Structure 1
Amino acid sequence: MRISSVTMYEQSAASINRQQGEFLKISQQMASGRRVVNPSDDPQAASRAVGVDQSRAVTQQYADSRISARNSLSQTESILNSVSDAVTSAKTLLIQASSDTLSDVDRESIASELHGVYETMIGQANATDGNGRYLFGGYADNAPPFVKEANADPDAAPNVKYKGDSNAREQRIDASRKMPVTSNGEDIFMSVPSGAGYVADAPSSNEGSVTFGGPQVADVNDDNYGDNFAVSFDDSSGAMEVIVNNLDDTTNNPVVKQAYTGNGEDSQTVSFGGLDITLEGEPKSGDTIAVSKAGSDQHPPDLFKTMEEAIRVLEAPNEDPQATADFRNTVNTAMRDLDNALDNALTVRASAGARLNELDVVDGVGANRMQNYDQTLSNLVDLDYVDAISEYSLRQVGMQASQQAFVNIKGSSLFDYL
């Protein structure tokens, strides 16, 4: 069979082109460090690599989300620490103000300090994160959650009202976990812990000079323990009487009625529902004292209102027994409310700390997951340089051999043998 020169040229050129293509392919792999440069290099590995890379990108997105969540929780925890310090400072000032040796001027000075603490609390309650969103407004984070509203009484100080919502802003930190990254203002400044006790409260409208101590828990097994009640005074019978009404009883029938004896040198203890409250001073008929569970409808928690009432009585002169009684009763109630507010702030802060710890755990799991994805992706598409260098040398030799063979074939001629 005769082989034409054209055929020899075509076959030699095709061999050289094939060797050059293989050599170029291994060169590209070595330059990029990837075994699969184009999907056609290994379609199955390329397809799996796309899925792994997408999962890796989602995991990285959750990691970025956890960074944002950690920033919000860290800010919340820091502000709650400041709130706890402010509440502690407020109680210290009230303890100082409760001394009978202070004059009205001294109490006004303490009121000025307490007002500074009060303004600090409002500033902390309206704190923002790094993006300008208000931390404690829930999802209503585009406006201050706490605002001052004018009081119905033009002579009274404005009241602080909560304008946020009752939700806690949440953020997804992993495929199966959506975490609250802050707390709303109601949970911090207008709530009490579940274990909060009872608080007595005497309205400023009382006309007498009766003061109270307590309430103290005497018997938790009492049938009426847990009920809210009111102590009132009545002299319609000719002598002052103490009357106790169970506020949780719709019949509103008196459950205790006895003569009042606390207007002498000795105080009088009134008991109901496993609680004891001590009374002392000269009441007027119609005066009342409410004893209720902290956080109940009868005594809703409000840290700002507690501060406002304390400032009010500190600024008012104790010019008569009624004003003195109002001062002592209000301070007594305020200190209990501040204790509950401090416990609540510490509880919410502990919750934020627990979520920060959880973020650390989820970060560890996410890091392990990213490592697994990186390893899988490397196994699928990354280049083994030892094999690649061997293959590179082999392709180089093959290409040189093809070129030399073409040179030898091209130089062959019958005239050399004539």
Structure 2
Amino acid sequence: MRISSVTMFEQSTASMNRQQSDFLKVSQQLASGRRVVNPSDDPQAASRAVGVDQSIAITEQYRDSRISARNSVAQTESILNSVSDAVIRAKELLIQASSDTLSDVDRESVASELKGVYETLIGQANATDGNGRYLFGGYKDNAPPFAKNAAGGVEYNGDANSRQQQVDASRLMPVTENGKTIFQSVPSSASYVAKASPGNEGNVTFSGPNVNDVTHDDYGQGFTIKFNVDPGIEPDSDDSTYTVIGSEGEAITPDGETGTGPFDYTGDGQQLSFGGISITLKGDPADGDEISMARPGTPEQPADLFKTLEAAIGVLENPAQMDTENPAQTDTEKAAMRNTLNSSMRELDNALDNVLTVRASAGARLNELDVIDAVGSNRMMNYTQTLSDLVDLDYVEAISEYSLRQVGMQAAQKTFVDVKGLSLFNYM
């Protein structure tokens, strides 16, 4: 068998190219730090790495989403903290205004500060996030959620939704609250609110109502106390009677009573108990006077923090006028002011409980985000480790391979040089 010079050249060149290719492959691995530089290096590992890369990208997207969600929830919680402080301050002012030692001028000063609290609450209700969107308007971002109407009152123009954000694969989290939930709602445990009819001509005042028995058959409905007074009798007469009427128009028999009858509202007042609640009345009613009681948040007693403050500001800015010729009229106006303040304070208590409940919900979501962040960090570590196991380079093994390939390539080059110099003439 004869071996031509061309064959020897081709075999030597092929050997050098193969050795050089293997050497360059290891060099690329060392330079990139990856064992799988091209999919052909390990098709199965490359395929799995694509899936892990996608999982890492999704996890990073959820992490960025949680950062945005945390900013919105934290801002919501901070504003709710300010709202609760404002409601507490308003309650303090109403307690101050209820004191008999204050003059009308003093009450007007209280009303001025209360108006400042009122305007502050409107500003907080129309707060925006870092992107210029209203926090408490739901999905309506084109106008402030709370605006004053033609009558001077505040009305809600947002929707009843709360913006939500996907913070994890299985968690769609509300990141804001709508204004109706905060400023026009009450918790389910909110206490009854009593209100005197604007047309009352007597001077009956009330305190309460207080809840005695939530299991009572009549508990939960609205009640109205209607006074019946013979116009020809003297005040404090035993001929004064009352009737308790349920929300459906039926007569309610007070606890311990057989029905309506004589009633004395003088002295320290008289307590009425019915439907699982009790209320204390004091003063002299006029015929047809009414005091209504209902659960807040119902059609009979809608919840609205702004309307509560508007009513309180109204009676403090327009104090009872002293009428020496008609003292009864003065007593009627004073009773109306006291009843309005009592109703407003009860409504502020319910509003504060509601704001604190919503704020607690925001705090719980912040804690949940911390937990999801911890889970996401662990998941990211697992994905990173899996990806490293699939495609990352073992430098000790790669350096050994690099040295081996380098020696192999040098040997192939040296052999080619030696073979290239051989000639039969050297042996003749």
TM-score exceeds 0.5: yes
The equivalences for 1:37-116 within 5 A come to 37-116=37-116
The corresponding residue for 2:169 is 175
The residue type paired with residue 205 of structure 2 is: T
List per-residue Cα deviations over 1:252-306 (Å, max 9, x = no partner).
44655323422x4452333321322222223222221101112222111111111
List per-residue Cα deviations over 1:60-115 (Å, max 9, x = no partner).
11111111111111001101110110011000111111111111111111101000
How many residues align structurally?
Answer: 409
Looking at structure 1, the residues matched to 268 and 35 of structure 2 have their Cα atoms a distance apart, in angstroms, of 95
The equivalences for 1:181-200 within 5 A come to 181-200=175-194
Match among 210, 222, 227 for residue 228 of structure 1? 222
List per-residue Cα deviations over 1:338-370 (Å, max 9, x = no partner).
111111111111111111111111111111111
Structure 1: runs of 5+ lacking an equivalent = 152-157
The corresponding residue for 1:159 is 153
Structure 1 residue 222 displacement after superposition: 3.6
Looking at structure 2, the residues matched to 330 and 283 of structure 1 have their Cα atoms a distance apart, in angstroms, of 16
TM-score by structure 2 length?
Answer: 0.92
Q: Does 1:261 align with 2:264?
A: yes
Q: Does 1:327 align with 2:325?
A: no
The corresponding residue for 2:16 is 16
Looking at structure 2, the residues matched to 136 and 410 of structure 1 have their Cα atoms a distance apart, in angstroms, of 86
The corresponding residue for 1:155 is none
The equivalences for 1:243-262 within 5 A come to 243-247=243-247, 249=248, 251-253=249-251, 255=253, 256-262=259-265
The corresponding residue for 1:340 is 350
Structure 2: runs of 5+ lacking an equivalent = 233-238, 254-258, 322-329
The corresponding residue for 2:404 is 394
The residue type paired with residue 375 of structure 1 is: Q
The residue type paired with residue 420 of structure 2 is: K
Looking at structure 2, the residues matched to 269 and 353 of structure 1 have their Cα atoms a distance apart, in angstroms, of 41
Looking at structure 2, the residues matched to 200 and 113 of structure 1 have their Cα atoms a distance apart, in angstroms, of 25
Looking at structure 2, the residues matched to 83 and 220 of structure 1 have their Cα atoms a distance apart, in angstroms, of 30
Looking at structure 2, the residues matched to 254 and 22 of structure 1 have their Cα atoms a distance apart, in angstroms, of 98
**Equivalent pair of 2:319/2:337 in contact (CA under 8 Å):** no
TM-score by structure 1 length?
Answer: 0.94
The corresponding residue for 1:135 is 135
The corresponding residue for 2:205 is 211
Structure 1 residue 40 displacement after superposition: 1.0
- Match of 2:260, SS state, is strand
Looking at structure 1, the residues matched to 318 and 73 of structure 2 have their Cα atoms a distance apart, in angstroms, of 41
Structure 1 residue 220 displacement after superposition: 4.3
The corresponding residue for 2:235 is none
Q: Does 1:313 align with 2:307?
A: no
- Match of 1:8, SS state, is helix
**Equivalent pair of 2:229/2:285 in contact (CA under 8 Å):** no
Identity %: 67
**Equivalent pair of 2:163/2:177 in contact (CA under 8 Å):** yes
Match among 361, 369, 377 for residue 371 of structure 2? 361
**Equivalent pair of 2:118/2:306 in contact (CA under 8 Å):** yes
The residue type paired with residue 192 of structure 2 is: Y
Structure 1 residue 23 displacement after superposition: 0.9
The residue type paired with residue 398 of structure 2 is: A
Runs of 4 or more, structure 1, over 4 Å off, are 236-239, 253-256
The corresponding residue for 1:289 is 291
Looking at structure 1, the residues matched to 215 and 117 of structure 2 have their Cα atoms a distance apart, in angstroms, of 40
Cα 1:14–1:219 shift into 2, 3 Å: closer
Cα 1:5–1:330 shift into 2, 3 Å: same
Structure 1 residue 237 displacement after superposition: 7.8
- Match of 2:227, SS state, is strand
RMSD of aligned alpha carbons: 1.6
Looking at structure 2, the residues matched to 75 and 221 of structure 1 have their Cα atoms a distance apart, in angstroms, of 40
